[in-house]
Amino acid sequence: MALLAYLKSLFVLQLLMGFVFVVSGLIINFIQLCTCILWPINKQLYRRINCRLSYSLWSQLVMMLEWWSGTDCTLYTDQATVDKFGKEHAIIILNHNFEIDFLCGWTMCERYGVLGSSKVLAKHELLKVPLIGWTWYFLEIVFCKRKWEEDRDTVFAGLDRLKDYPEYMWFLLYCEGTRFTEKKHQISMQVAESKGLPKLKYHLLPRTKGFTTTLQRLKGTVTAVYDVTLNFKDKQTPTLLGIINGKKYKADMCVKRFSVDEIPEDEQECAGWLHRLYQEKSVFDLLQEQYNKEGKFPGPTIIPPRRPWTLLNSLFWATVLLSPLINFACGVVVSGSPLLIIGFILFLIIASVAIRRLIGVTEVKKTGSSYGNQEAKKQN
């Protein structure tokens, strides 16, 4: 085990995995670009193909969580709820406290067959991020600038396009709008006090506009809302770098299902429903306290089995891409050409920097909105 942990920590292996992810992602993006000719001919075929292309990229990240780091994911919910996973269109409300919360969400998507078709209301800045933003663009992800006057028509059009989506999709929403930090929490609770709303200990005040708009525009398509609270045992603070280094975490996800029929259609009443849900998360804070003391949520547990497809997909891309890379590297060394060797070293350095920048997209200290600058004026 010590040898395995040492191998996982080797930078050269991590660089090779990063190389496979980046190059396979560029190949996938090129194929996605080619599929655009299908859109005016057969839109649903275009979507089905892009779901599988997206899966081929994202499953490499899921593989790192499940197989490389060996992180466990346990669900705290009832069997009746689990039986509906992957069999209905749903909105997922997830707390935004950890660097890898999206990866845990994707893991559940993969295990229930909706990873390739999963959606999110994403920041417009991510559209400029290679691989991530480009893949999401072809997957019809809804991007927003967080300025409702500018976003309204774009968001409406993007959501309306998804009404006839041919694959079951989970639409992920971070209703708090940004990752939880102590500073943002203080600002958020000042807003809660000014609005006469109960204060939350472990959550930010939810921004309701994204949720109410998504629910209203996808009414008739989406049949359920899943409220998901994610925690890690032993007060772990997981990072993507930790996953890459092979560190194992233990994730617990408490899931509660609400039928769309239970949620008011009126926008203000719907917003009130979301606030009450987070107020229950204030009661949920009691569950959080219990989790901190006992190391678990209450209720039955279900551990969905890992599927082999993420591992097989990653092995496929590694086989296709590493063989020519290794042959090329050997050729460079054998050639003895200083120019070729220096060029190859520069390539490795550039690749390392590029991969590190992609990792930086997930880091708590480098992400999140400028929450609070205009919060008192614009919080919904």
Above 60 in pLDDT, residue 62? yes
Residue 234, Cβ neighbours under 10 Å: how many? 7
The lowest-confidence range among 60-64, 245-249, 256-260, 336-340 is: 336-340
pLDDT of residue 277: 82
User: What does the angle CA 250 – CA 102 – CA 6 come to, to the nearest 5 degrees?
Assistant: 50
pLDDT of residue 302: 92
For the ranges 38-47, 222-231, 232-241, 318-327, the maximum mean pLDDT occurs at 38-47
pLDDT of residue 379: 44
Instruction: Determine the Cα–Cα distance for residues 173 and 179; give it in Å rounded to an integer.
Output: 12
Report the pLDDT averaged over residues 329-349: 77
Tokens read off for 265 = 């259609």
pLDDT of residue 363: 54
